Structures are given as C-alpha cells and as structure tokens.
Amino acid sequence: MATPADRLWKNARLATMSGAGVVERGAVAAKDGRIAYAGPEAGAPDAAEIVDCDGRWITPGLIDCHTHLIHAGNRAREFELRLQGATYEEIARAGGGIVSTMQATRAASEAELVTESLPRLDALMAEGVTTVEIKSGYGLTLDDELKMLRAARALGEARGVRVRTTFLGAHAVPPEYRDDPEAYVDLICGTMIPALGGLADAVDAYCEGIGFSPAQTDRIFAAARAHGLPVKLHAEQLSNSQGAAIAARHAALSADHLEYLDQAGVAAMAAAGTVAVLLPGAFYFMRETKLPPVEMLRAAGVPIALATDCNPGTSPLTSPLLVMNMGATLFRLTVEECLAGVTRNAARALGLDDLGTLEMGKACDLAIWDIESPAELVYRIGFNPLHARVMGGV
C-alpha cells in the first residue's frame, strides 16, 4: 500500500466536474496540498485524518474569474441617478462612472484598499470561493495601478485564498489624458506594462466606445504578449466592436461579457481556445436586454465561465451562488454549465490547469455543501448551504 494520505473526506457525493462525472459514495484524499485520490470510497487510500461528510456533496472550490474586488468607495448615488433615468454612458461622459471610483482609489492607501475590500472577499469565500481573480484599473497611474495590484496580493495573503491579478490600466482614459488618449496608450505600453514586474498575472482592457478602441486594444495586447503576459478582454458588452476577434488573435485566455458577440467572434474564440466569461450580474444590474449568444457558443464548443464582475458601477455583486442562479435564469444555462462556469471553465479562463476539477494531482481546494443535489446550488436565491471550505488540503 502506498504511503497514507494526509486527510480523507469520505461518505461524500462528488461532483468531480471531470470526465468521471458524479460519484455517489465517494471520497477525496489530500496529500501535500494536492488531490491524491478522488473517486469511489471503496478505492480510497488510508489517511492520517478522516472526515466523515455524512453524505454531503463535494465540488471543486469555486473560482471567481473576473472581479474588480479592490476599489475604494461605492457608487450608490450613481445607482440612484440611473433609477431616475440617467444612462451609464451619460454618467461616464459627465466624469462619473469609472473615473469617480478612480478618484476614491487614488486617494486611498494600499492598507485602506485592503481593509475596504476584505469584506467583499469574505462574502465570496463564505460561498465556497477558493480562487479569485482581481483586476487593477481604478488607479490609472503607474503608482496607483501597482498599489492596487499589491493590495490584491495582500488580500490573498490575509485570507489564504488564491489570488490571480490582472493589470487593467486600459479601463478608462484618465482625465489628465482626455485630450490625448493615444498618449495614455503609449504610457500603458511603454511604461506601465514593462514595470509590472511579476505583480500581474495577465493584462486586460475595456474595449468599448467609452473605453478603448479595437486598434488601441491591439496595441496594448501586443505589448503584453511581448512581456510574456497572457491577455483577457472586456468585449462586446455595450456594442459590437469586434473585440473578441482581437482577443482571439492574441490567444487570449478569455473574452468577457459578450452580449453583442457575433458568429465571426464566436468562431475566432473557438479557434483560439478562448474562454467565454459571461457576467450575468452586470447584465442584470444594467437591465441589459441583449442576451449573449449562448447557443452559438455551445455549438462552437467555446467553454463558458461565469463570474461576479464584482465592481462598484455595473455589478456590485459578491455572490457566486447568485451568479449561477442568474446564469440559469437569465441566460438559460444548464445546472452542469453553471457549475462548470465557476469551477473547470473558470480555471481555464485564468490559465490554471491545476484547479477546477476533482482529479488526482490538482490542488485540493474543495467546497462541501449541505445539499441533496447539485441543482440546489443553482436553484436557490439568497441562501447559502456551504458546510466547509478546504484550501490546499486544509
């Protein structure tokens, strides 16, 4: 018999999210932080410590693959203005929107950003999140962007959660460059990206009428790739700018939002292996009516992920369970698709192939649930059946 595992969770039902599907009466074993076994209990190894799950379900720890978790202040006032009829674009063009959060974020210290953002991280973790992507993009100067990225890393250390950071200097043109956006793109490409020095795991851009043009996005992505960084894109959210095709051309990990994505964009993503990250919280909060082309994505075999897009302007949302419910209710995704969206496909959207399924060799990040079937995770609204969360086998 091989050396015993460190810990064994037995008497569980497994949603492996791998080819193995569901395992009734299953067990998961951890050794040195990795999954040493996931399968029928009958074949499980010995372990130093045994946890009886009393028939509960185990899924991979949830992964929120698109957030703007780090920011200062909130935009409740802007929300009220929108309730009175103002549009998101009008507010942005009048100096509100992303720029108002930028001002608050520039004024905050790194420690203040951590303190303000921790309750949002705690809300995600309370629903089983073990990995979270966090973008910069509310600093828009080199120093303030680096401050955000350091705060994101510090947040992960404070809670022992896996954090992947994304540099989103191309979130908005800051006011000081309003008359010369190209000069700001030069700054991103020539100064900011070269200075990231390991603080960012990927580069993102907001390709939109009120953001950056396809040509500017292309330039930013070329600079990112030249520095060895993978890219992701906010694409086709408010209009079709053909951003997904640019993302695909740069072998993007993901293109996100995608309500206005067309067949050519879908085909480009399929060919490049780019994940479609759908963000139903933003769709809901913006009262969008144009649905992302789910049927086309399915037909082309593009993997679909789901994320909170937690941000103060368009998706002040910190519940991956509600995201799954919205994915099903608003976008008509199946239960299996919703679960894959916050596990296996979310891992892919971050380029993390050692997470997202219950398979030997993957990191032992688990969520253990008080439910009778996985559909309950998607079906309920505002109810949290998490029993326990396991990070790296602990």
Q: Which of 116, 309, 337, 359 binds Fe ion (CB under 5 A)?
A: 309
- Kindly write out the interface string for residues 237-276 of this chain, putting x where it contacts Fe ion by CB under 5 A and - elsewhere: ----------------------------------------
Among 129, 282, 326, 338, binds ligand DI6 (CB under 6 A): 282
**Residue reference for tokens 């969770």:** 9
Q: Under the criterion CB under 6 A, does residue 234 sit at the interface with ligand DI6?
A: yes
The packing angle between helices 98-107 and 142-159, to 10°, is: 80
Distance separating alpha carbons of residues 56 and 370, to the nearest angstrom: 6
With CB under 5 to 8 Å by kind, the binding choice for 337 among Fe ion, ligand DI6, none is none
Binding mask 160-199 for ligand DI6 (x = CB under 6 A): -----------x----------------------------
- Interactions with ligand DI6, residue window 74-93 (CB under 6 A): none
Residue 206 interface partner, choices ligand DI6, Fe ion, none, CB cut-off 5-8 Å depending on type:
ligand DI6
Q: Binding segment for Fe ion among 44-52, 103-111, 258-266, 303-311 (CB under 5 A)?
A: 303-311
Cβ neighbours of residue 244 closer than 8 Å, sequence gap 6 or more = 233, 235, 236, 255, 258, 261, 265, 266, 268, 269, 274
Structure tokens at 312: 């103060």
- Give the closest residue to 65 by CA, choosing from 256, 294, 330: 256
Least separation in angstroms between residue 279's CB and ligand DI6 is 6
Longest dimension (CA), the chain: 70
Query: 133-169 burial string, b = 16+ CB within 10 Å, else e?
Result: bbbbbbbbeeebbbbbbbbbbbbbeebebbbbbbbbb
Question: Which tokens go with 146?
Answer: 């680096």
Tell which one of 314, 318, 343, 345 touches ligand DI6 (CB under 6 A).
314
Asked whether position 315 contacts ligand DI6 by CB under 6 A, the answer is yes
Distance CA 65, CA 323 (A): 12
Nearest-CB residue for ligand DI6: 313
CB of 326 to Fe ion, least distance (A): 15
Cβ neighbours of residue 186 closer than 8 Å, sequence gap 6 or more: none
Stretch near ligand DI6 under the rule CB under 6 A, chosen from 50-58, 141-149, 312-320, 366-374: 312-320
Q: Which amino acid is at 246?
A: I
101 binds ligand DI6 (CB under 6 A): yes
Q: Which is nearer to ligand DI6, 73 or 214 (CB)?
A: 73
Residues forming the site for ligand DI6 (CB under 6 A): 68, 97-98, 101, 171, 206, 234, 237, 282, 309, 311-315
Residues forming the site for Fe ion (CB under 5 A): 309
